[in-house]
């Protein structure tokens, strides 16, 4: 199958350590015009003294004092700095570049500040690891139920329904406990050989065959962001439902529906006027009608897949799954190792609607996230040829003439793994995590949080803060310590590195995602020299993940080294 250039264009996308741990540094006392914010030293426990000139905070011509005052008076949030947010800034950030504006305000207002969004509404923005740890660990924690998902559940409900990615409390706990075991070790190993490696090799074959990929005398750019979005949709479809979207080859109404629904979730997350909360308006606004039709198609397809799978699972398989569970073994169906099959065989299906929503949660949560992680890792490698050379040398040494990485290869691809981790530090997906306080609380550092407060944990800010990381803007895969040490996580960095969140609501697919990303990159780096098309501007925009503004156009030239090693084996 010949891939045309348009094959790798975005559909309506979603365009539509250990090792030396970074230390906290003293904060600089600063003042900004009339708004005097004084932050004192922050110690390693994240405690700080702070004060704010309440009368003047936020009082510029465009961010009038009354707005700030109301915010501060409301429920007595007086000990938290208020960002000097002008209406234009807020308009911009609601349009999609939210996390970049949050970074600017962190530099002005410190690691915990209030962002006024209306006369009596605000976000509490957290860019401090200790405060983030406190909130994340207190989310849906039965011992300390202080926070819930809040706004994110509201904007995604139309798609996720009662899925466990957005539900809370007991409903979430029960479903997470049922679904998480499906991603067990044997399943992940099977995914490498059955799904991750073959899908990446398929993409490589398309790039080899595609004159648009840069192998002809007239090299043409390939949009690798679009290619990764298609690859990860194919992967997650097979892994969760045993369903082949064939997104790398075809364009179907179902694929369009997935992109439409994702885009709508992203748009809702940044809508200034959440008119979609009004059912009457949803019924007449064309965008909402389109989104509703898309969700219906996705749900109908999922329901049909569940029905089909149920028909395949017999009593014998249920007994085998139950016996495996009793013996503490990991059950897997050799013919269909998908999450869906596991859940039905393990009788964890509850009712079909709940199962449908849980599976859709995994589909959505596991698609653009991994696609974006791959996009930015490749971008950073292409921008840092010295790191690219190390990664390719590792891939050559580990894989030799094998096109498809094995589980042993995956374990040995430690530098590639660090490249993925470092890329998720610089470009975390999503860049902010939303929460809402169920009860009044006090954050480390003494910041008072009122009941009902919407909270944004800016993972982007934490990951790029000079107070948290040395040379935060640099791409340094080596920064996490020796390659034979553990992979960085929120645990071994004390919440300084949280690309998969942390606490009870931590990503359930983190190991899946790392394997998929490392395996996909290994296949591509082994077979291609990938370079950026010159003179393109790679801007950032966001919805659920960080996207490029215009795509990531690259040349993919077949590597001589890979060709040689294949030839060596052939002789």
In sequence order, what are the beta bridge partners of 36?
none
Task: Tell me how far apart the alpha carbons of residues 522 and 509 are, in angstroms, rounded to a whole number.
Answer: 20
Decide: is 214 part of the binding site for ligand HEM (CB under 6 A): no
User: Residue from 509, 526, 555, 562 that binds ligand HEM (CB under 6 A)?
Assistant: 509
Q: Which residue is nearest to ligand HEM (CB)?
A: 509
Decide: is 508 part of the binding site for ligand HEM (CB under 6 A): yes
Residues 470-499 that bind ligand HEM (CB under 6 A): 499
Unique residue bearing structure tokens 């949280």:
498
For ligand HEM, which stretch binds (CB under 6 A), given 185-193, 242-250, 480-488, 503-511? 503-511
Structure tokens at 285: 């606004």
For ligand HEM, which stretch binds (CB under 6 A), given 111-119, 504-512, 526-534, 553-561? 504-512
Decide: is 445 part of the binding site for ligand HEM (CB under 6 A): no
Interacting residues of 391 by C-beta distance below 8 A, sequence separation 6+: 381, 415, 416, 419, 521, 525
Task: Tell me how far apart the alpha carbons of residues 191 and 110 are, in angstroms, rounded to a whole number.
Answer: 43
419 annotated to bind ligand: no
Task: Tell me how far apart the alpha carbons of residues 334 and 338 are, in angstroms, rounded to a whole number.
Answer: 10
Cis peptide bond N-terminal to 430, omega within 30 = yes
Binding mask 359-388 for ligand HEM (x = CB under 6 A): --xx--xx--xx--x---------------
Comparing CB distances to ligand HEM, the nearer of 106 and 456 is 456
Comparing CB distances to ligand HEM, the nearer of 366 and 405 is 366
Show the CA angle centred on residue 344, arms to residues 338 and 347, nearest 5°: 140
Decide: is 228 part of the binding site for ligand HEM (CB under 6 A): no
Beta strand 454-458 pairing with 121-126: parallel
Phi, psi of 28, deg, nearest 5: -85, 140
- The distance of closest approach from Cβ of residue 30 to ligand HEM in the complex, given in angstroms and rounded to an integer, is 31
User: Residue from 123, 164, 331, 342 that binds ligand HEM (CB under 6 A)?
Assistant: 164
Structure tokens at 559: 């590597």
User: Residue from 93, 231, 313, 433 that binds ligand HEM (CB under 6 A)?
Assistant: 433
For ligand HEM, which stretch binds (CB under 6 A), given 49-57, 93-101, 383-391, 509-517? 509-517
In sequence order, what are the beta bridge partners of 449?
441
Strand, coil or helix: 409: helix
- The distance of closest approach from Cβ of residue 373 to ligand HEM in the complex, given in angstroms and rounded to an integer, is 4
Interacting residues of 423 by C-beta distance below 8 A, sequence separation 6+: 373, 376, 377, 379, 380, 475
Decide: is 436 part of the binding site for ligand HEM (CB under 6 A): no
Decide: is 512 part of the binding site for ligand HEM (CB under 6 A): yes
Residues 310-369 that bind ligand HEM (CB under 6 A): 361-362, 365-366, 369
Query: Burial of 379 by CB count in 10 Å (0-12 exposed, 13-18 middle, 19+ buried)?
Result: buried
Q: Which residues are annotated as a binding site?
A: 507
Residues that bind ligand HEM (CB under 6 A): 164-165, 176, 361-362, 365-366, 369-370, 373, 424, 429, 433, 499-501, 505, 507-509, 512-513
């Amino acid at each position: 199958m010949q891939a045309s250039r348009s094959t790798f264009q975005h559909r309506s996308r979603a365009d539509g350590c250990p090792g030396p741990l970074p230390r906290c540094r003293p904060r600089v006392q600063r003042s900004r015009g009339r708004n005097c914010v004084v932050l004192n030293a922050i110690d390693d426990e994240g405690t700080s003294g702070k004060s704010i000139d309440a009368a003047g905070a936020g009082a510029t011509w465009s961010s009038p004092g009354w707005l700030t005052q109301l915010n501060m008076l409301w429920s007595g949030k007086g000990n938290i700095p208020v960002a000097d947010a002008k209406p234009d800034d807020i308009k911009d950030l609601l349009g999609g570049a939210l996390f970049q504006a949050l970074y600017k305000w962190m530099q002005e207002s410190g690691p915990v500040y209030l962002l006024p969004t209306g006369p009596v509404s605000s976000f509490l923005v957290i860019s401090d690891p200790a405060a983030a740890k406190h909130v994340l660990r207190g989310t849906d924690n039965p011992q300390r139920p202080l926070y819930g998902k809040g706004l994110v559940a509201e904007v995604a409900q139309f798609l996720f329904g009662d899925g466990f990615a957005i539900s809370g409390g007991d409903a979430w706990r029960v479903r997470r406990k049922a679904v998480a075991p499906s991603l067990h070790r044997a399943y992940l190993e099977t995914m490498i050989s059955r799904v991750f490696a073959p899908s990446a090799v398929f993409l490589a074959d398309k790039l080899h065959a595609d004159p648009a990929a840069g192998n002809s005398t007239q090299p043409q750019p390939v949009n690798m962001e679009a290619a990764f979005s298609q690859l990860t949709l194919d992967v997650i479809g097979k892994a969760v439902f045993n369903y082949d979207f064939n997104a790398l080859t075809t364009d179907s109404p179902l694929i369009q529906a997935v992109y439409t629904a994702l885009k709508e979730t992203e748009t809702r997350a940044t809508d200034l006027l959440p008119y979609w909360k009004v059912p009457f308006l949803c019924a007449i606004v064309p965008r909402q009608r389109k989104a509703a039709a898309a969700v219906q198609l996705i749900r109908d397809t999922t329901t049909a897949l569940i029905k089909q799978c149920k028909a395949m699972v017999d009593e014998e398989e249920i007994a085998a799954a139950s016996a495996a569970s009793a013996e503490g073994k990991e059950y897997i169906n050799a013919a269909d190792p998908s999450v869906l099959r596991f859940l039905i065989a393990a009788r964890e299906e509850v009712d079909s609607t709940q199962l449908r929503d849980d599976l859709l949660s995994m589909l959505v949560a596991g698609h653009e996230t991994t696609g974006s992680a791959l996009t930015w890792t490749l971008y950073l490698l292409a921008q840092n040829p010295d790191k690219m050379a190390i990664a390719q040398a590792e891939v050559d040494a580990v894989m030799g003439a094998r096109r498809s990485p094995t589980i042993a290869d995956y374990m040995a691809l430690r530098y590639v793994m660090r490249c993925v981790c470092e890329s998720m530090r610089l470009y975390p997906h999503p860049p902010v995590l939303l929460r809402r306080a169920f009860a009044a609380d006090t954050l480390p550092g003494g910041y008072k949080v009122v009941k009902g407060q919407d909270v944004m944990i800016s993972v982007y800010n934490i990951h790029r803060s000079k107070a948290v990381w040395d040379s935060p803007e640099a791409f340094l895969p080596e920064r996490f310590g020796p390659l034979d040490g553990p992979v960085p996580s929120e645990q071994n960095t004390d919440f300084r590195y949280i690309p998969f969140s942390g606490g009870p609501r931590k990503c359930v697919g983190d190991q899946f995602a790392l394997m998929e990303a490392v395996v996909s990159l290994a296949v591509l780096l082994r077979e291609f020299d990938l370079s950026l098309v010159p003179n393109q501007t790679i801007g950032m925009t966001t919805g659920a993940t960080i996207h490029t503004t215009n795509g990531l156009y690259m040349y993919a030239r077949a590597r001589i080294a890979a060709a040689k090693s294949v030839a060596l084996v052939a002789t």
